[in-house]
Chains A and B, each alone.
Chain A
């Protein structure tokens, strides 16, 4: 069965005053049906831009999707106008998104009920009454107490965690095939974070939806994701099943990331948390060689001479973009 969503060689650039920012530079990934996929990487590596590009939600100018394909249910979404009818009929209805900032992602001047029902009215042509009933049901499902009474409340009357629950209900309201959660838990405390992740996992199972969890926290994906993509500086540097990534990480960046995650049951003596040295690269005027090179502790001559290697299959579904321990000279 072909994947539900296939992104090929996606390139999204920003034209800024300081120069061309290659925020996403040749990213490919697949999402299968009912699968939970993690996308991991440092802040600024292009995770959000990749996901927004899938739905053509990049503001242009300054952003521009310069190349690539986004194949969803057999059609390339990038051939459609960003503000056109086809994209609108897919957004929210077939592919839904939850955003990073629960405090600002809901409209402050509209009631929760209004913001939840409008998707149902637009995509499923529900009348206001049945849309409201469905919304109450959804809010109950995501664990909002007194769902009916809170329909006419405004976002500022909800806590951050509750707003993210509202966002989850909103995203799932039209029963989408894919739910993209862009760091849904960065802005909430650890307990709430765990609750929200559990809730999302329950929901996607119940709704038979695929889930993409975007995060810079490997601990989050470890628990939920079946497959993982590791991004660095606008590209995917390693991908594979969760076990491949956690038990057999091959890219020095992935290895570095794993060293910064505390493992359960570990005492301080056994292992130190090691931060990755150096800073993420500046995305303007990048050299053609591996972007991780300046921070890599395993760099070799070939890394300096050759352009950034493309993803290479290691075994099964495990891919890595690194010269690793291959021959010193090709």
Chain B
């Protein structure tokens, strides 16, 4: 078990390394020069060649690509994410400021989608063929097909612009003003959670229905157990095995979704920071953001693999 986890962590490190290499290269393949964008912003177009070169040296852009990469990687180990070209401040500072916002929204969306998706799926399976099953399954099918940013725009139009119930956009820390914060995050969290809820509902439902027909469930009935016990003890754990994989994938989905949703709702999280950084060719921010997302995804996959072992004793870690 321990050696398995160590192996998986090593694998994860390799994956993260490859992701950073790819992002490092791809963002630099984009046409344009980050310095030009920076200079446009700061109105310093009249610089001499020497001054330009000095700036390049300041941001480490004069070196070869491998050298730049190694600089960056070395910095990471000392907790230094480098300096943003566009904002001209420490990337680590920006990340520390923006990441909690994204984590907060993402965690809420993740928990809500887990709780609702699993409950809906179980209820549908137990009430198979009734109106409630039909309705929830229909909604889940619709939920799966709707792009989250589009739902966001519709929600803004209906709930904020037309009805005026919720603020159009923005984000306030829940520690500053809890009520205002909650009103602001209702729509973005809904958008982030919508697809995960829908897909978890569908998967849990079909997994439950599959398990209910198994021989061992018939055995449980033949022992004289009541339905409640059969569902809670014999069915759900088995039905969760395929669902857990998808729950793990939701982490990646929610993080990816936050890039769009934070832009739609004007929220200063890591997603929006990255979108802007791509536009500004702010290399180091894009690299830092991707690195964080890659770590999150690898960690969630690791958690999935470990929880398999807890759910399914047939899985051996060697």
Best-buried of A108, A156, A167 by chain B (most CB within 10 Å): A108
> In the complex, A1→B218 CA distance in Å?
33
> In the complex, A89→B224 CA distance in Å?
6
Chain A residues near B214 (CB-CB < 8 A): 104
A144 at the interface (CB under 8 A from B): no
The residue that B311 contacts in the complex, of A93, A96, A109, with Cβ under 8 A, is A109
Given contacts A101-B215, A105-B215, A108-B216, is CB(A91)–CB(B222) below 8 Å? yes
Chain B 216-244 interface mask (CB, 8 Å, partner A; 1/0): 10111111111101000110011001000
The residue that B215 contacts in the complex, of A55, A99, A123, with Cβ under 8 A, is A99
> In the complex, A57→B230 CA distance in Å?
14
Given contacts A89-B224, A92-B224, A123-B224, is CB(A108)–CB(B219) below 8 Å? no
Chain B residues near A142 (CB-CB < 8 A): none
Given contacts A88-B226, A99-B215, is CB(A108)–CB(B221) below 8 Å? no
Is B225 a contact of A118 with CB atoms below 8 Å? yes
> In the complex, A101→B218 CA distance in Å?
12
Chain A residues near B220 (CB-CB < 8 A): 107
CB closest chain-A residue, reference B316:
A156
B32 at the interface (CB under 8 A from A): no
> In the complex, A92→B225 CA distance in Å?
9
> In the complex, A91→B213 CA distance in Å?
18
The residue that A91 contacts in the complex, of B224, B233, B313, with Cβ under 8 A, is B224
Chain B residues near A101 (CB-CB < 8 A): 215
Given contacts A59-B213, A118-B229, is CB(A106)–CB(B224) below 8 Å? no
Interface residues of A in 79-118 (CB under 8 A from B): 83, 85, 87-93, 96-97, 99, 101, 104-110, 118
A46 at the interface (CB under 8 A from B): no
A154 at the interface (CB under 8 A from B): yes
Chain B residues near A93 (CB-CB < 8 A): 224
Is A156 a contact of B313 with CB atoms below 8 Å? yes
B162 at the interface (CB under 8 A from A): no
CB closest chain-A residue, reference B213:
A59
> In the complex, A248→B167 CA distance in Å?
90
CB closest chain-A residue, reference B220:
A107
Best-buried of A89, A107, A110 by chain B (most CB within 10 Å): A107
Interface residues of B in 184-238 (CB under 8 A from A): 213-216, 218-227, 229, 233-234, 237-238
> In the complex, A57→B218 CA distance in Å?
7
Chain A residues near B237 (CB-CB < 8 A): 109-110
A213 at the interface (CB under 8 A from B): no
> In the complex, A177→B24 CA distance in Å?
74
Is A91 a contact of B216 with CB atoms below 8 Å? no
A273 at the interface (CB under 8 A from B): no
The minimal Cβ–Cβ distance linking A306 to chain B, given in whole angstroms, is 39
A284 at the interface (CB under 8 A from B): no
A160 at the interface (CB under 8 A from B): no
The minimal Cβ–Cβ distance linking A99 to chain B, given in whole angstroms, is 6
Is A108 a contact of B314 with CB atoms below 8 Å? yes
B312 at the interface (CB under 8 A from A): yes
> In the complex, A110→B232 CA distance in Å?
12
Chain B residues near A123 (CB-CB < 8 A): 224
> In the complex, A156→B315 CA distance in Å?
10
A204 at the interface (CB under 8 A from B): no
CB closest chain-A residue, reference B226:
A88
13 A-B pairs besides A99-B219, A109-B312, A167-B219 with CB distance below 8 A are A57-B222, A85-B226, A93-B224, A104-B214, A107-B219, A108-B238, A108-B312, A119-B225, A122-B224, A122-B225, A122-B229, A156-B314, A170-B223
Shortest 9 CB-CB contacts between residues of A and residues of B: A92-B224, A91-B224, A92-B223, A104-B215, A107-B216, A154-B313, A97-B222, A88-B224, A119-B223
